[in-house]
Amino acid sequence: MSAARFQVLLVTAALVWSGIGPLDRQIWVMETLPVVLFGGAMLLLWRRFPWTALACVLTTLFALILCLGGHYTYEYVPLGNWIRESFGFERNHYDRIGHFFQGVTPAILARELIVRCTPLRPGKALFWIVASIALAVSASYELIEWWAAIITDPEAGIAFLGSQGDEWDAQWDMALAFGGAIGVQLLFNRLHDRQLATLPRSPRATG
């Protein structure tokens, strides 16, 4: 079995598990919808646009984080409660992990799209464009959370926001995503470049 097929099966199993008796069905739908939409899009376009192993691993990890958060809601994820009790935190920080990877994964996906579909080459400009895209994705998600909190019932909206009473929650979320986008590029740029070299580029990128 190829690594890509294993990752698809793993995410599918996690999605099914997370949908069995979630703490709040409405929250589960909102939290796992990105897994279904973006994961489905990647599968449908795979033959035309296969992704690097790094992009697939990070996407899989992010999907697992979302499935776990969707099942329990972020405030009650057992892993986050264990971290809170072990380190004496005042809140469950599992959502912080999710928002960090909300910077990590979109950054690598954006970097891959830009390198393969545009003439832009790796360098300082690409680095900051990718980080800016990841930050924009995070900010857009904060707006979506705000909008969802307004149109849904109050309890579901507050749970989806996951602020847990922190007035600076949105700022923390965006800062963590931005840090994740910068960190993943610093750590994995060379590995990503080697994997990108084995994949075809769009004809437009070479024109």
State the first-to-last Cα distance of the chain, in angstroms, to the nearest integer.
Answer: 37
pLDDT at 147 over 80: no
**Conformation bin of residue 162: beta by default, left when phi > 0, alpha when psi is -120 to 50:** left
**Lowest-confidence pick of 104-118, 120-134, 144-158, 172-186:** 144-158
Which pLDDT band holds residue 26 (cuts at 50, 70, 90)? confident
Mean pLDDT, residues 5-28: 93
| Helix residue spans in 45-93 (DSSP H) | 53-72, 78-87
- Is the pLDDT reported for residue 5 higher than 70? yes
Residue 154 has pLDDT above 80, yes or no: no
Cα torsion at 84, 88, 89, 90 (round to 10°)? 100
Mean pLDDT of 131-145: 89
**Range 37-43 average pLDDT:** 92
Distance CA 65, CA 182 (A): 20
Q: State the pLDDT at residue 66.
A: 95
Say what the pTM is: 0.86
Question: What per-residue confidence (pLDDT) applies to 31?
Answer: 87
Looking at residue 173, its amino acid is D
